[in-house]
Every structure is written in C-alpha cells, then in structure tokens.
Structure 1
Amino acid sequence: MFALVDCNNFYASCEQLFRPDLRHRPVVVLSNNDGCVVSRSPAAKALGIPMGVPAYQLREAIACHGVEVFSSNYALYADISQRVMRILAALAPEVELYSIDEAFLDVGGIAGLEDFGRQLRTTVRQWTGVTVAIGMAPTKTLAKLANAAAKRFPATGGVVDLHDRKRQLRLLRIMPVEEVWGVGRRLSRRLRLMGIETAFDLAARDQGELRRRFSVTLARTAAELDGLPCFGLDEAPPPRKQIISSRSFGERVTDLAAMHQAVCTYTATACEKLRRGRQYARSMSVFIQTSSHAAAPYYGNAAHGSLPVPSGDTRDFHRLARRLLESIWKEGHAYVKAGVMLHDCCPTTPLQLSLLGKQGLHASDALMAALDRINHSGRGRVFWANQGIDPSWTMFRNHLSPSYTTNWNAIPCVR
C-alpha cells in the first residue's frame, strides 16, 4: 500500500500561514519576475482565476475583489516543505520525496489506514499549519488518483483509502482520463480518439496495444490502474547526470560585466547543488539569449568546455565559465536570459586520480565544505566577489513577503 501526501495550494498556503487576515481572502502567487499565476487559494479559484494567467490581467480582480498578490518566496516555501517532510518521515516507515509539496509513503502493514491518514493530516496541520490531502492505494498511480479525489470531494475529509477493489472501480469510472498520473492534455486527446474517456477505460484496455501504439510507460500506468504495482518507492533518487541553473533577468543585460556576474552566480548555485549530491563534474555549458519577441534580431548561443579532472570547486567552474562566456558574447544585444549546465557528473568516490591530484582535491573539498557550512548555518552567507555586490539584473519580485522562518529580522511580531 502506498500513500500520496500532497499539500493543498502549497505556495498560497505558505503565504497565508503568517497572515491570518488572508485566511479567507483570494491569494495568488506569481512565477519568476512576477510573470504568471502559479498558485491560488480556494477563494481565488472561486473567482475563476486560472493557473498561468499573466499578472497584468489581474488588475481588475485586484481592484474589484481585493486579490492579494505575492511574488514567489522560495526560501519560505522550501523551509515549510522541509518541516512537512520531516513529520512524514517520523510517522511513516519509508518516504519518497516526489516534489516540494508531495511525497509517497509506504503504508503497507499499517492497520486502520483511513484512521492513520486522518491522524497524519491532523498532525501536519497542527504542527505546520499546512493542510494536506492523502490518497492511499495498492499502486502509486491509484494513490495519485485517490489524492485527486480527496481534493475534489469535500465529503472525504481530505483522505481517500482505495484498498478495496470495488471503491477503486467506482473512482476509475468517474475520473476523466486526463486526471491519470502521466496523462497530459495532448495524450488524452489521442486516447479519446480511441474511445478511452475515463481512467476505467484505460485500465481495461489491452496493455500490449498501449505499448505498441504509445509507450511502455503508458502500458505500466494501465497495469497500475488495474491494481498491479509497476512503480516502487524510490527513497534515494538516482544521481544527477547534469545540473542546470538558469533565470530570466529582471532587466535586460547589455553589459559584459553584468552578464559575467549573472553567469558566476548561476555557476555558484549549480556547484552547490553538485556538492549537495556528493558529486563532481568535468564539463560545463554556458548559454545566453535575447528575447524572441523583441523587434531587434534574435541572438542566442552556447559554448561547452571541460576541466582536466572532475571537480566540485566553484573556482574551477568560475574560470571556465568566464572563458566560455567571452567566446559567445556579442555587443549590441539586450539579453533576457542566461544559464549554465554542469555535465559528466560522477560520484566523489571512488575516483582514480594521481597522488598530487588527490592532495589538491582534498584541500579544495575542505574549503568548499567550510563555505557550504557557513551558508547553511543561518548565521550569514558568503558569496564570491565576481557575483557582484548589488546586481541590477536579478529577477524582480515586487510583491515579496518576508522570509518568516529563515531570517531573524523577518520574524513576525505579535503585539
């Protein structure tokens, strides 16, 4: 038996945690550079505000209905997510972190699954203030569908247990095929042309035919809907083969020095992710691009380079990134986006190097470990000078809320 725990309207819920005045008001959270809606509170959904709508189209709703708008506060969301996941890890035997607001649990062998789900939901709510929906079933795909039912039907109390096959079939018959995990809008249109309208129709279809006409993955999805587990719990995600760090700029970048700061910042972020996974990388790519919608001619380019030996040292990649950037930079363009990608990632051990190479690598690892400890301590942050002191290119977040749980100066005061 698997359980899928999903935080309801997670970004919007995090914004409401420390603002009781917003509990019943419409709240939306915007994407990078305050672009589009990526999260909505129930009140905002009731107003008919769709996902992905551009922020400028909300002006009338803000004026008429008092919609509260927030920029994405990733520091706050990541910290609340970690608190929720720690609770799940303490109460369930095994946990797979699926996304920032979702986790699969192994609940096989637990007696009284529905009672366990309600206890889990109550504990998360009491300890963090976040409301979750829980779906439980013999397969991960059915658990995902049960979770969708827990959100859609208020009478369930936020918990749906599908261990009984009769309950599974009832739900499969009323769930549209596009609600199935891994079936998007494009695939659902193709399935509907074959007469597959519901999840029940997909489960009843011949798996060999699905494999021939679509993919092995869809055939396994159909098998999971039929109650046959094909996807196990993945407690340790596979090591990354590549790491990317990229952002759109808040303002157009026309100066090489400013672009160098941005590329160095993205490189530092990618290297920190690399070390967090206990990996080295041997090569990297740098890319820059202008807007494809601007009146000026479009320009985009990328360059690739390698290090003599694998490394996790930010300084090595900063030097390489500078050379790559200079090789593709063209004056006279207004750039809107840049990014870096680390390739050829490998575990830090075992790694065959020369004796002198190992000594240098150990010293480098110790320095990077000290840097990461400082940055994760909560007492301050150390950054590289070539990232710039007050960059103007960073994405703008005009509606950013305080980082209530990660910044001493942002702790809410009760008067």
Structure 2
Amino acid sequence: MISASFTHVHGLTSFLYLDEAFADLSGITKMDTLGRQIRSQVLRNTGIPVRVGIAHTKTLAKLANHTAKRLQAQTGGVVNICDPMKRDWVLRNTDVAEVWGVGRKMKQHLDGMGIKTAMDLAKTDPWTLRKNFSVVIEKTARELAGTPCPELDEPDPPKQEICCSRMFGQRLKELPPIKEAVATYMQRATEKLRAQNSLCKKIRVSIRTGMFNLEEAKYANGVVIDLPYPTDDVRLLTKVAVDALDCVFRPGFNYSKAEVLLLNLCQPGEYTDDLFATSQPVEATKVMSVLDQINQRWGKGTLRTASVPANPTWAMRRELMSQSYTTRLDQLWKVSCC
C-alpha cells in the first residue's frame, strides 16, 4: 500500500492513502483518476490488489482506505472523502476502534466518554482528549476534523557511525579468510557512507571468537585507527582495516565474527584542516562515483576491491533464506506440469 499527499488542491491539502506510505504531491486536480491509475498499475505490475484512500489529512486518508476495503464492491477500491459530505458519512459509519492509533484499551476509555464513532471523536474537544489521554489522541481528533497535524516523514539525518558486522558461516582459524571478510564488510560500510554523502575520519576493526561454546577458548580484540584525512575511498579504508588485523589476530583461536565500524563521520565542508593537512584527492572522489554508478546499474558487487571474493567459503549460512522470486531470474518459481 502506498500513500501520497496532494497539496494546493482547491486550497486544501489532500492525502492519497495506499498501504503505509505517504507522498506529498502538488498541483493534482483529478485525484480520483490518479488513484485508479495507481491502483491499476500496481495490480498490473505486481498482481497485488490494493485500495486507495484520498483525504485532506493522513488520518482521514487511512480511514478512506479502510472504507475502500470495506466497501470494495461499491467503490472499486478507491474512496475520495475530500468532499465534506462524504467525509462526514464515513465518520458517522466508522467505529472509533477503526481509527488510526486507537487501540483496544483506548476504545474502552473512549466508550466510557460516549465516543462510539469516528465522528464522535472528531467532535470531541481536543484539549480534553489531550488532558485525559495524550497529545497523540488530540492530534488524531484534529485530523479527523480536517486539520492536518503530523508532517510527512522527514529524511533521516546522516548517521554518526556506520557498522557492518556478520557472523562467519564457519569458524575461521587462519588470518587470510578473516581479511577477506573484513574487506567485504568494509565494501558494504563504505557504500552506506557514500549514500549519505559522508566522510570518515576514524575506523574500528574487531574480531572475536564464539562466546557461548564453553569448550572453545575465548578471545576478542579490536583496534581504532585514525585516517590520514576524512575519506569515503573504499580502497584506502579497506587497506587500513585489513592491515589493522595484524595487530589483533592471535593464532590458536576459532574466530566467529568480525566487525567494521566507521567513526567520526562528517559531511564535506564540515571539518577544518590545518594549512599543511592532506585531503582526499579529487580523482578518488570521481572513482568512487563511477564505482557506485556501475553497481547501482548492474547490481551490488559488480565492481569491488580485489580483496573481496565473489563466493567466499566463510560467508554467513543462508540455507533457510527465502528465495528472491521477484528479483532474481535464477530463483523464479518452477512449476511442474503433469
């Protein structure tokens, strides 16, 4: 299900609800037509039937979607309640328990106040609801009355740390396969780093044995390395991380896990160097851009550092992993005809 919000439609904001996502669109006038087009395209491309709800607030949009599901035969799966008369009909004919954010216990409290339907909740004094319950119920009531309260989800701020850690598919006793694993984890960590347009000033590399097998000797160690300059270059980061393993690896142990942690992240231009400090070469930035473009177009791992194996023997066990029926040609369903 997808949800979109439409602004500047007859001077009001309207939301189109289709599953659990909301999108802000401007200048849409034929909202019913758009809703049916989206529903038809999703069905045609995925085979999944969906319902579309359109309203002036997110809560009303979800309520419209519920109505489209409940009255599928009459509505064709698309309900637009931007019109006040249609909105009021839906509110009067919807139990308060069907409202977004009203759970079973909350319904019991609302029943005690005589609030039985969504219309009752929309007409209840918001400040009374806030005093007796919470600001969430207050906002719900305001949204049912047609006043948008929650903003659309803002993009997450850049992470301050990025970690990539996996258990090995089998215990490792030698250093070379552990170095392959750390190089592989660094490849993934730097992809996340560049995706949020950040640079890394420091990394931590650690390895450990299994901690729950009483018959195995226990060992864990890690090292923090300062980088010569803030960077997102996977080649430099991989070399530093792999070389650091020489300091923490101890022979005679059965290692079960490695971890790569990128620390002291910053955005370009957020750090101040001294006059003689080095910085990441422009050529390295261009190489990383080309690397990401190729992998985005042709799939992850199409281009990778030479220390990252294509089919590692130490990889995490995935015998019970669900098949990628819709994204991998080699994993399509096989149907036998008798």
Shared fold (TM-score, shorter chain, > 0.5) = yes
Matched, 1:169 2:91: yes
Number of the residue aligned with 1:382 = 303
Q: What residue ranges of structure 1 are gaps of 5+ in the alignment?
A: 7-84, 86-95
Aligned partners of 1:116 and 1:191: how far apart in 2?
Answer: 35
- Normalization by structure 1: what TM-score? 0.55
Matched, 1:400 2:323: yes
Moved more, 360-369 or 104-113: 104-113
Aligned partners of 2:68 and 2:250: how far apart in 1?
Answer: 52
Query: Any idea what SS the aligned residue of 2:60 has?
Result: helix
- Normalization by structure 2: what TM-score? 0.65
Aligned partners of 1:333 and 1:208: how far apart in 2?
Answer: 62
Two-structure CA RMSD over aligned residues (Å): 4.9
Matched, 1:318 2:238: yes
More helix by share: 1
Number of the residue aligned with 1:89 = none
Deviations 1:32-78 (A, max 9, x none): xxxxxxxxxxxxxxxxxxxxxxxxxxxxxxxxxxxxxxxxxxxxxxx
The one of 20, 26, 34 equivalent to 1:116 is: 34
Aligned partners of 1:378 and 1:269: how far apart in 2?
Answer: 16
AA aligned opposite 1:400: Q
Aligned partners of 2:45 and 2:287: how far apart in 1?
Answer: 37
Aligned partners of 1:378 and 1:353: how far apart in 2?
Answer: 37
- C-alpha spacing 1:241/1:148, structure 2 compared with 1 (3 Å): farther
Matched, 1:269 2:188: yes
Aligned partners of 1:338 and 1:150: how far apart in 2?
Answer: 50
Q: Cα distance, 1:118 vs. partner?
A: 0.8
Aligned residues: 308
Q: What residue ranges of structure 2 are gaps of 5+ in the alignment?
A: 5-14, 334-338
1:176-255 aligned at under 5 Å gives the runs 176=98, 179-180=100-101, 188=103, 191=106, 194-195=109-110, 200=118, 204=124, 206-207=126-127, 210=130, 219-233=138-152, 237-242=155-160, 244=162, 246=164, 249=167, 251-255=169-173
Query: Any idea what SS the aligned residue of 1:382 has?
Result: coil
CA contact (8 A) 1:243 1:270 kept: no
- C-alpha spacing 1:174/1:102, structure 2 compared with 1 (3 Å): closer
Q: Cα distance, 1:259 vs. partner?
A: 4.1
The percentage of counterpart residues that share the same residue type is 32
Larger radius of gyration: 2
1:28-107 aligned at under 5 Å gives the runs 103-106=21-24
Aligned partners of 1:251 and 1:135: how far apart in 2?
Answer: 46
Aligned partners of 1:283 and 1:210: how far apart in 2?
Answer: 46
CA contact (8 A) 2:203 2:225 kept: yes
Highest RCO, 1 vs 2 (Cα 8 Å, sep ≥ 6): 1
Number of the residue aligned with 1:78 = none
- C-alpha spacing 1:359/1:317, structure 2 compared with 1 (3 Å): closer
- C-alpha spacing 1:374/1:223, structure 2 compared with 1 (3 Å): same
| Runs of 4+, deviation exceeding 6 Å | 196-199, 287-303, 328-331, 409-412
Q: Cα distance, 1:145 vs. partner?
A: 4.3
- C-alpha spacing 1:151/1:193, structure 2 compared with 1 (3 Å): closer
The one of 284, 287, 291 equivalent to 1:371 is: 291
- C-alpha spacing 1:275/1:160, structure 2 compared with 1 (3 Å): same
Aligned partners of 2:251 and 2:94: how far apart in 1?
Answer: 56
Q: Cα distance, 1:361 vs. partner?
A: 3.2
Moved more, 381-390 or 316-325: 316-325
Aligned partners of 2:246 and 2:78: how far apart in 1?
Answer: 52
Number of the residue aligned with 1:5 = 2
Q: Cα distance, 1:117 vs. partner?
A: 0.7
Q: Cα distance, 1:364 vs. partner?
A: 1.9
